[in-house]
């Protein structure tokens, strides 16, 4: 396996430079008030000193009896200490890894997984299932503070956080070796796949048989089937293929109480959904070991193109009209004016003659009221659906869209897994960069979009920075869509995490207070945990915490994350206060 | 409101006679070995003597303070004693109603619902939410034996059935007055609707605004939104519109611990699904008071037609090909050979000249290998989708289908809510008649279909009866479909219920042992409760029972149903033995 970038995204030998994008830095410098001298280099890996693994040699021997491939070296522990959130990358660059996992195990099969769980229960250790490690919500963090915040069910059955047990051993369970397609049913179009299989391997095997899962999240290169299911992920083409919970026919989960497997049938009326209880459980109820997934024949034709609307509002109206007809696009990705402008400013350098042609083209477009400065760019893709493509494009044109052809869409498709690499380049240059997402109904979408953008900009201003906030609509439904927000700002050096928390907290509060989902596909982890009672109501969360206690009575599984956080009361202040205490941060 | 048939289906002044269907009785007599002298008349309603309501006058006063419309008369109590299963109808005809509810309350709003729940908790009473009362799995039964079998969570947190408390007061909560469309969001295409609204009222209000929910179960005339959601129902057009769990954007539930409301957003990644925990909860976690539903514009065009395949296998292949393309029919309903033959034998009498034409037509068809005696009839319907209809019909023809035109499909559409009335006519004539359903993958469908039909016939033979077993495929998915089985047999007089149980038990065991869902849309109630641990695994059910305890610690809500039954071990025999003990029946 090619070496991974320990402090950032992806392969160490791969990057996404802005050097061939001549307008990029000028645009960013102006938009973010960059002064040109900001850098935040990563520390020297060899300077990192982790605390010694807290396993006794007897414990380590016992663990190696179960999984000979148990690692305690610095590299393995660093690579499994965090996910890939902005908070994580800042800490990694600084070399701040006070609570790495004590060991990383690579079990080869479900039996070994179950035995590692039993080992943890017997040794009062915490176990963190680890797939691709691409969580941006702290879902795989091996922190003491996080891992010790488990739940206890007292006699009166009220759930309260238990006291921190900072000496609790923490083990990361990497599922990389559970990576087989176990069975493929061509008749029913389903495949039973082990949870640790990564996107590219999974698609390669399915493609060889003529099928696809159709799940292509931005983390595709590294993330795993189990991680997608555990977090309720969404692929870029989810409008056609469905979110992962719709693609999952059944799951198999190793819990501390034993194996739970749901029935592999297309639909049921057998009470509350056990399947949808396990899907999204974020490692807190057990380790997903395999799942039977709905797959489809590989598409024979694709039609991806870009369209330009005169305004985001026009584009939203078209997107809604499209979704509420019976047309099913693979992708409808509509950028707002700010994202459209940025997309254009960050474009690749073209040969000089093309730049001349482009300028003429843009002037002509401008004459008709279209502009990359004030317009809204849409990527509209269809697969195996020429009639739908035609009808969808017609709807867009009836809302004033100009068809830009296939070129831009092809660049987007080509680069869709590359942009996470850009984050590292921006951070190298002292730029705070993060994304967040929500989903809401069509009637609430534009209001939430505006409020959220203003909120993020205001919060950044509080930290002394001018923010660039860009949003797109994607993952569309008949009743609404997700909003995906990217924000950039000049780093507040020395206070990078506090700055980011100020913005993240304001944005999350804005989403929850304004009718958005706490998350559409990133999950809860601990970053969103302080709001989960408001999302589900305190009583609703009591019900889910009861499930946690029933399946994981010793709080072995991924403790301290979404099912653990419990504000003293349901109020916002309490939630925020809780989060601050949780992170032990100054107000 | 027109008077309801207290011992059977629907309106008392409505029936579905076979008298105008000349071939019907001859066909049934031959198929079932009827001797012509069997009848099972309903007893005289006025002869029914219920035990006195067990509420003290102080309790009754307190209840009437909350809900002035609290009834204790015989008619209200009889109408809320049972659902509408074969077992229920037999007991009603016999006048066997040992455990009617002690009172029936008709709260006008959610606040009153919550206060009734609190009353029950304070008075150790059981509360049974009651919508249309059309459950065929015992989901609304007010039986002592059932209602007293609640759960307790002992200190060690293992869930065990608590002892029968045969003197526990039982109250039926009829939601008929929660019957408003609260809000309709035309932009997002959602409607917030109170749970007690019945199908016809709901559709009338939505239709007036240009919308439809598209949920048309066979019980449509009487069943309610809350009942559909509580049981995970499916409408006849679910292949286009989706099962109720897909149509439900959010629910609001009054639980003994307080109101739980899920977020009204199109999709989330916020942990385990609280929504899908409440959907399907069958009244055991609380009372669904309202829900926000995904609605659609009324279709402008419809194309429903009948096709005849040379065999069921050909029809299944066509159905699968259709579903695994991107074509979305509203209805694909494929009858097997036995159901096709019966459908034809039970058809309406036509004018003599038409019978002559029909005979010629059939002879010509027969010349090409098509026959109602050996073929498989499909109803194939499309809405607002002329291109899909054309493509779908082409796929069917490529699998050898003969297009019978629109006539038969129109009769099916016209009669779709009428056939439940036929059950009463058949029971009048001493015919056991029941339906059951499951869902499975395409690769398992034909095997399960055959095994199930043979199992039912064999079980009927054990009771001395020849069964007519008819199956159709409906509610189709990319990965499989539901199988809906109707079976008829001559009643074993005096042992009607034991006979039925023998068949039902064998059929359910066959489904569970052969890869079918325990239920696709009827639910669990108590009839399927003995198998629920095998469906979800014992550990999985522990998790769901923990939810029950968290939300309903005093076991007020619909006790003794799906979340209560717990076999001593996970074995089949134990499950069956448990069910027998449950019903106190001779082996």
Report d(CA B379, CA B405) in Å as an integer.
10
Q: According to the model, what pLDDT value does residue A145 have? A: 54
Q: B477, B509 in Cβ contact below 8 A?
A: no
Please report residues of B whose CB lies closer than 8 A to that of A475. Answer: 267
Please report residues of B whose CB lies closer than 8 A to that of A444. Answer: 188
Dump pLDDT digits (tens) for A457-502.
Answer: 999 999 999 999 999 999 999 999 999 999 999 999 999 999 999 9
Q: Is the pLDDT at A152 greater than 50, yes or no?
A: no
Binned at pLDDT 50, 70 and 90, residue B352 comes out as confident
- Among B337, B347, B495, smallest CA distance to B408 is for B347
CA distances from A57 to A52, A68, A121, B54, B199 (A): 12, 14, 18, 67, 67
Binned at pLDDT 50, 70 and 90, residue B350 comes out as confident
Instruction: Tell me whether residues A285 and B272 touch, CB distance under 8 A.
Output: yes
Q: Is the pLDDT at A146 greater than 60, yes or no?
A: no
**DSSP 8-state assignment for residue B529:** G
Binned at pLDDT 50, 70 and 90, residue B144 comes out as low
Residue A416 has φ and ψ, to the nearest 5°, of -65, -25
Q: According to the model, what pLDDT value does residue A345 have? A: 87
The number of CA neighbours under 13 Å toward the Cβ of B374 is 7
Here the tokens at position A186 are: 């061509």
Q: Is the pLDDT at A212 greater than 70, yes or no?
A: yes
Report d(CA B269, CA A475) in Å as an integer.
13
- Please count the residue pairs, one from chain A and one from chain B, whose beta carbons lie less than 8 angstroms apart: 317
Please report residues of B whose CB lies closer than 8 A to that of A185. Answer: 441, 443
Q: Which residue has the higher pLDDT, B412 or B37?
A: B412
Mean pLDDT, residues B336-362: 84
Q: Is the pLDDT at B299 greater than 80, yes or no?
A: yes
Report d(CA A425, CA B326) in Å as an integer.
42
Question: CA-based Rg of chain B, rounded to a whole angstrom?
Answer: 24
Would you say how long chain B is, in residues?
Answer: 587
Q: According to the model, what pLDDT value does residue B149 have? A: 35
Q: According to the model, what pLDDT value does residue B337 have? A: 97
Report d(CA B292, CA A539) in Å as an integer.
20
Q: According to the model, what pLDDT value does residue B495 have? A: 94
Q: B231, B523 in Cβ contact below 8 A?
A: yes
The number of CA neighbours under 13 Å toward the Cβ of B519 is 29
Binned at pLDDT 50, 70 and 90, residue A514 comes out as very high
Q: Indicate the pairing of strand B103-105 with strand B170-174.
A: parallel
Q: What angle do CA A97, A102, A105 make, to 5 degrees?
A: 120
HEC assignment per residue over A328-359: CCCEEEEECHHHHHHHHHCCCCCCHHHHHHHH
- Among B191, B192, B141, B190, smallest CA distance to B170 is for B141
Dihedral, CA of residue B338, residue B339, residue B340 and residue B341, to nearest 10:
50
Q: According to the model, what pLDDT value does residue A194 have? A: 98
Which of A271, A285, A539 has its CB closest to that of B524? A271
Report d(CA A312, CA A446) in Å as an integer.
9
Among chain A residues, the shortest Cα distance to B241 is held by A326
The number of CA neighbours under 13 Å toward the Cβ of A554 is 16
Instruction: Tell me whether residues B280 and A273 touch, CB distance under 8 A.
Output: yes
Query: Which value does ipTM take for this structure?
Result: 0.93
Q: A245, B273 in Cβ contact below 8 A?
A: yes
Task: State how far residue A25 is from chain B, nearest Cα, in angstroms.
Answer: 35
Among chain A residues, the shortest Cα distance to B191 is held by A479
Helix (H, G, I), strand (E, B) or coil at A287: strand
Please report residues of A whose CB lies closer than 8 A to that of B267. Answer: 234, 243, 439, 475, 477, 482, 517, 520-521
Task: State how far residue A505 is from chain B, nearest Cα, in angstroms.
Answer: 17
Here the tokens at position A111 are: 């039996």
The number of CA neighbours under 13 Å toward the Cβ of B112 is 19
Pick among A279, A284, A550, A561 to test the B interface (most B CBs inside 10 A): A550
Q: Is the pLDDT at B153 greater than 50, yes or no?
A: no
Q: According to the model, what pLDDT value does residue A166 have? A: 54
Q: According to the model, what pLDDT value does residue B43 have? A: 96
Q: Is the pLDDT at B156 greater than 60, yes or no?
A: no
Here the tokens at position B491 are: 């009643």
Residue B370 has φ and ψ, to the nearest 5°, of -100, 140
Please report residues of A whose CB lies closer than 8 A to that of B185. Answer: 441, 443
Q: Is the pLDDT at B569 greater than 50, yes or no?
A: no
Q: According to the model, what pLDDT value does residue B316 have? A: 98
Summary mean pLDDT of chain A? 91
Q: Is the pLDDT at B11 greater than 80, yes or no?
A: yes
Question: What percent of chain B lies above the pLDDT cut of 70?
Answer: 92
Q: Indicate the pairing of strand A402-405 with strand A302-309.
A: antiparallel
Binned at pLDDT 50, 70 and 90, residue B2 comes out as low
Give start and end residues of each alpha helix (H) in A480-531.
496-513
Pick among B242, B384, B543, B560 to test the A interface (most A CBs inside 10 A): B543
Task: State how far residue B61 is from chain A, nearest Cα, in angstroms.
Answer: 30
User: 10 Å Cβ neighbour count for B80?
Assistant: 25
Please report residues of B whose CB lies closer than 8 A to that of A296. Answer: 324, 478
Q: DSSP letter string over A80-96? A: TT--SSHHHHHHHHHT-
Q: What number of helices (H) and strands (E) belong to chain A? A: 22, 20
Q: Is the pLDDT at B141 greater than 80, yes or no?
A: yes
Q: B564, B522 in Cβ contact below 8 A?
A: no
Mean pLDDT, residues A96-107: 96
Within 8 A by CB and 6+ apart from B68, the residues are none
Task: State how far residue B201 is from chain A, nearest Cα, in angstroms.
Answer: 23
Report d(CA A351, CA A313) in Å as an integer.
34
Q: According to the model, what pLDDT value does residue A353 have? A: 77
Strands, DSSP E only, in A92-241? 103-105, 126-130, 151-153, 159-161, 170-174, 181-185, 190-194, 211-212
Q: B532, B524 in Cβ contact below 8 A?
A: yes
- The mean-pLDDT minimum among A42-56, A213-227, A241-255, B361-375 falls in B361-375
Report d(CA A229, CA A291) in Å as an integer.
9
Dump pLDDT digits (tens) for B523-568.
Answer: 999 899 999 999 999 999 999 999 999 999 999 999 989 987 443 3
Instruction: Tell me whether residues B441 and A185 touch, CB distance under 8 A.
Output: yes
- Among B448, B514, B525, B8, smallest CA distance to B233 is for B525
Counting other chains too, the contacts that A564-567 makes at CB distance below 8 Å and 24 or more residues apart are A564/A149, A564/A150, A564/A151, A564/A161, A564/A284, A564/A529, A565/A149, A565/A161, A565/A526, A565/A529, A565/A530, A565/A532, A566/A151, A566/A159, A566/A160, A566/A161, A566/A533, A566/A541, A567/A530, A567/A533
- The mean-pLDDT minimum among A214-218, A361-365, B313-317, B442-446 falls in A361-365
Q: Is the pLDDT at A586 greater than 60, yes or no?
A: no
Dump pLDDT digits (tens) for A393-445.
Answer: 999 999 999 999 999 999 999 989 998 999 999 999 999 999 999 999 999 99
Dump pLDDT digits (tens) for B357-413.
Answer: 778 888 888 888 888 889 999 999 999 999 999 999 999 999 999 999 999 999 999
Q: Is the pLDDT at B577 greater than 60, yes or no?
A: no
Helix (H, G, I), strand (E, B) or coil at B360: helix
Dump pLDDT digits (tens) for B210-237.
Answer: 999 999 999 999 999 999 999 999 999 9
Among chain A residues, the shortest Cα distance to B536 is held by A262
Q: According to the model, what pLDDT value does residue B150 have? A: 33
Q: B109, B62 in Cβ contact below 8 A?
A: no
Dihedral, CA of residue A545, residue A546, residue A552 and residue A556, to nearest 10:
30
- The mean-pLDDT minimum among A18-27, A336-345, A533-542 falls in A18-27
Which of B185, B265, B439 has its CB closest to that of A268? B439
Q: Indicate the pairing of strand A151-153 with strand A126-130.
A: unpaired
Q: Is the pLDDT at B353 greater than 90, yes or no?
A: no
Instruction: Tell me whether residues B442 and A277 touch, CB distance under 8 A.
Output: no
Please report residues of B whose CB lies closer than 8 A to that of A436. Answer: none
Please report residues of A whose CB lies closer than 8 A to that of B279. Answer: 272-273
Please report residues of B whose CB lies closer than 8 A to that of A390. Answer: none
The model carries a pTM of 0.93
- Where residue A76 falls (left for φ over 0; alpha for ψ -120 to 50; beta otherwise) is alpha
Question: What percent of chain A lies above the pLDDT cut of 90?
Answer: 80
Question: What percent of chain B lies above the pLDDT cut of 90?
Answer: 80
- Among A140, A144, A185, smallest CA distance to A164 is for A144
Q: Indicate the pairing of strand B126-130 with strand B170-174.
A: parallel
Helix (H, G, I), strand (E, B) or coil at B338: helix
């Amino acid at each position: 396996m090619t070496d991974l970038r320990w402090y950032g995204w992806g392969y160490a030998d791969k990057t996404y430079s802005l050097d061939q994008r001549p307008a990029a830095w000028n645009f960013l410098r102006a938009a973010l008030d960059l002064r040109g001298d900001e850098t935040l280099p990563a520390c020297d890996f060899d300077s990192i000193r982790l605390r010694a693994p807290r396993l006794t040699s007897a414990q380590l021997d016992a663990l190696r009896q179960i999984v000979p491939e148990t690692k305690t070296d610095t590299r393995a522990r660093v690579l499994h200490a965090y996910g890939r959130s902005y908070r994580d990358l800042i800490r990694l660059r600084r070399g701040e890894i006070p609570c790495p996992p004590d060991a990383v195990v690579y079990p080869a099969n479900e039996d070994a997984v179950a035995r590692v769980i039993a080992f943890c229960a017997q040794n009062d250790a915490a176990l963190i299932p680890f797939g691709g490690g691409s969580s941006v919500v702290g879902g795989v963090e091996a922190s003491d503070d996080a891992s010790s915040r488990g739940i206890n069910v007292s006699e009166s059955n009220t759930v309260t956080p238990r006291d921190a047990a900072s000496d609790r051993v923490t083990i990361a369970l990497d599922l990389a070796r559970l990576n087989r397609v176990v069975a493929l049913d061509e008749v029913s179009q389903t495949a039973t796949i082990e949870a640790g299989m990564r996107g590219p391997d999974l698609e390669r095997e399915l493609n060889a048989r003529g099928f696809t899962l159709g799940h292509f999240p931005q983390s595709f290169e590294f993330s795993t089937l189990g991680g997608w299911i555990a977090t309720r992920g969404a692929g870029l083409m989810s409008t056609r293929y469905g979110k992962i919970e719709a693609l999952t026919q059944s799951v198999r989960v190793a819990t501390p109480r034993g194996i739970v497997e749901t029935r592999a049938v297309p639909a049921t009326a057998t009470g509350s959904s056990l399947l949808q209880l396990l899907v999204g459980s974020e490692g807190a109820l057990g380790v997903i070991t395999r799942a039977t997934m709905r797959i489809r024949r590989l598409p024979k034709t694709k039609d991806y193109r870009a369209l330009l609307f005169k305004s985001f509002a026009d584009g939203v109206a078209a997107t809604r009209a499209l979704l509420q007809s019976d047309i099913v696009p693979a992708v409808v990705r509509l950028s707002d004016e700010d994202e459209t402008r940025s997309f254009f400013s960050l474009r690749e350098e073209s040969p000089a003659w093309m730049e001349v042609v482009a300028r003429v083209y843009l002037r002509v477009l401008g004459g008709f009221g279209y502009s990359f400065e004030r317009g809204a760019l849409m990527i509209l893709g269809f697969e195996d659906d020429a009639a739908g493509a035609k009808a969808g494009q017609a709807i867009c044109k009836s809302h004033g869209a100009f068809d830009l052809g296939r070129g831009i869409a092809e660049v987007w498709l080509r680069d869709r897994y590359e942009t996470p690499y850009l984050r590292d380049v921006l951070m190298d240059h002292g730029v705070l960069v993060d994304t967040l997402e929500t989903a809401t109904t069509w009637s609430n979408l534009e209001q939430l979009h505006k409020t959220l953008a203003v909120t993020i900009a205001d919060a950044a201003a509080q930290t002394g920075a001018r923010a660039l906030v860009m949003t797109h609509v994607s993952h569309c439904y008949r009743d609404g869509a997700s909003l995906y927000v990217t924000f950039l700002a000049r780093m507040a050096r020395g206070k990078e995490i506090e700055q980011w928390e100020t913005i993240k907290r304001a944005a999350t509060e804005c989403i929850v207070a304004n009718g958005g989902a706490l998350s559409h596909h990133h999950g809860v982890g601990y970053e969103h945990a302080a709001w989960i009672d408001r999302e589900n109501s305190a009583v609703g969360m009591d019900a889910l915490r009861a499930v946690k206690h029933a399946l994981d009575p010793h709080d072995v599984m991924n403790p301290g994350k979404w099912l653990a956080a419990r504000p003293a009361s349901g109020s916002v202040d309490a939630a925020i206060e809780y989060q601050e205490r949780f992170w032990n941060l100054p107000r």
